[in-house]
Amino acid sequence: MSEINWTALQQAAKDAAAQAYAPYSKFPVGVAVLAASGKVYTGCNVENASYGGTICAERNAIAAAVVAGERKFEALVVYTPQTMLTPPCGICRQVIAEFFSPDAPVASCNHMQQQQQWTLGELLPAAFTPTYLANSTKVGA
């Protein structure tokens, strides 16, 4: 794995946050993911008048990468213009776990040039991953 350009990922996440559609929460989020190919993909949150239809920036960034053919990722950066650095929500952690290894870095940054970093394994220990389905014994099926 090559050196991660955090500055470029932060800028890409910030640019994505500028496109956020968040008229209800007024909480814009932008995400950049670094794929194993070296390419960077971005997403913003897209809210809905039926609030449950909202899709987070993390899942939109990963979906954009998947449709481009990516399946493996090296890093994820969240940008929010908040003094409290925002980690991915629970549903997004599960989606991240589908494609990222437990030691992959997940970072959050803001407009004050602060960054906090975790591994995916710290954010979602004992994750349910595709491995469990691959090793399923199909008892009773």
Q: Judged by CB, which is closer to ligand THU: 7, or 25?
A: 25
Query: If binding is defined by CB under 6 A, does position 47 make contact with ligand THU?
Result: yes
Candidate segments 11-19, 51-59, 69-77, 111-119, binder of ligand THU by CB under 6 A: 51-59
Q: d(Cα 60, Cα 38) in Å, to the nearest integer?
A: 18
Q: What is the β-pairing status of strands 73-79 and 40-44?
A: unpaired
Pick the closer one to ligand THU by CB: 25 or 114: 25
Place of tokens 């394994």: 121
Report the residue number, 9 or 57, with the smaller CB distance to ligand THU: 57
Q: Which of 88, 99, 110, 120 binds ligand THU (CB under 6 A)?
A: 88
Which pair of structure tokens corresponds to residue 130? 């595709």
Q: Which residues pair with 106 in a beta bridge?
A: 76, 118
Whether 58 sits among the annotated catalytic residues: the reply is yes
- What values do phi and psi take at 115, rounded to 5? -140, 135
Q: 14-43: which residues touch ligand THU (CB under 6 A)?
A: 22, 25, 27, 29
Q: Nearest distance from residue 141's CB to ligand THU, in Å?
A: 35
- Using CA atoms of 86, 87, 90, 93 in order, give the dihedral in degrees to the nearest 10: 140
H or E, element range at 10: helix 6-17
CA–centroid distance for 95 within its chain = 8
Catalytic residue among 58, 74, 98, 122: 58
Return the residue of 17, 57, 61, 62 that touches ligand THU, per CB under 6 A.
Answer: 57
Out of 9, 17, 35, 56, which residue is the one contacting ligand THU (CB under 6 A)? 56
